[in-house]
Amino acid sequence: TEAEGIRLVDLDEDGVDRAFRADVIAGLSEEQKAIPARWFYDERGSQLFEDITQVEEYYPTRAETEILREQGQDFAKLIGPSRAVVEFGSGSSVKTPLLLSAIEPGAYVPLDISGEFLRAAAADLAQKFPELPVHPVEADFTKPVQLPNQVADMPKLGFFPGSTIGNMVPRTAVDLLRNMREILGDGASLLIGMDLIKGRKMLEAAYDDAEGVTAAFNLNLLTRINRELGANIPEDAFRHEARWNDMFARIEMHLVAERDVNFTISGRDFSIRDGESIHTENSHKFGKRSANTLLLAGHWTPLERWTDSQERFSILLAEA
Ligand code: AVJ
């Protein structure tokens, strides 16, 4: 299973998230066991991801923030003022203000599946930019979305930082880019972060830090399954692994069983053999050519590209 999309929450009579249970049961029934990466982000998982962005080895957040800090003048020149900035995901308290202060936007429209994250982010932004109209939209942006009437006549700038696109296999990534193109309409631009291909050592270290924060993030998925799905997976039987898959140019995270284990999830029996793994995340990396090809397949024409001073990360500007 490599279904990485997002869905609105649908609880059963016992308060169990149906989509979570269905994804876990289907994923653990495959030949290569796999669970979609979006299930990492419960409260503890979101906190652990925040912690990851602070560890020495994890460069993407710092590198992308550097680009946003340094290239404000270029953004202003190429994007121009009075755009409705549509952010896919509820936004980061650091990156979003850097973009908004660079370009004099006409409005800010954060889109997120989680109303809770969305309201918090919108309130934070409204405080930092008291003059800026903010119109949060609670929506699944893998589906068609109608933008608020207030921004109907403004040209749009889509913002999709964080190399989140890299979590998707190319097919899913292309579908999402095409949907963004539909949501944003004619005359729109897109500013998107993509992490770059680099040496295996640096990539594997970024996803397997010495402090073990990424390991804790990966293993927390088992804790979440046990708690929310009434499972009894022995967490101590698994270890975190980050592998560079050179053919697909991606880092894969796995949970590798260190002995044979049997467990039940929502009354169903599963077994995993010693050495077998559960594939929990893909993080695709791009070159200039593969980044452009992905954008073009997604119905966007690349216009400009920036990297940080150490050429670890890229931000691309494309037009509809
Ligand atoms: C938030 C998806 C961009 O792939 O680098 C960090 C998630 N996983 N360390 C990434 C993540 C392990 C991150 N993204």
Residue-level pLDDT at 90: 80
Distance 283 CA to ligand 1 centre (A): 7
Residue-level pLDDT at 3: 43
CA distances from 294 to 47, 168, 186, 259, 318 (A): 31, 12, 19, 40, 11
Atom 11 of ligand 1: nearest residue by CA position: 49
Cβ–ligand 1 distance for 60 under 6 Å, the answer yes
From the centroid of its chain, how far is CA 169?
Answer: 12
Residue-level pLDDT at 5: 47
Mutate to test the pocket of ligand 1, among 167, 203, 241, 312 (most ligand atoms within 8 A of CB): 167
Cβ–ligand 1 distance for 282 under 6 Å, the answer no
Q: Is the interface score ipTM higher than 0.95?
A: yes
CA distances from 245 to 54, 174, 213 (A): 25, 20, 22
Task: Kindly give the pairing relationship between strand 84-88 and strand 107-112.
Answer: parallel
Mutate to test the pocket of ligand 1, among 50, 248, 283 (most ligand atoms within 8 A of CB): 283
Give the pLDDT confidence of 128-159 residue by residue, as tens digits: 999 999 999 999 999 999 999 999 999 999 99
Residue-level pLDDT at 8: 58
Report H helices in the chain.
18-27, 43-52, 60-70, 72-79, 95-103, 115-128, 170-184, 200-206, 213-228, 288-297
Please give the average pLDDT of every successive group of 10 residues along the chain, which has 320 residues.
Answer: 51 80 97 96 93 97 98 97 95 91 97 86 93 94 95 97 96 98 98 98 98 98 96 98 98 98 96 98 98 98 98 98
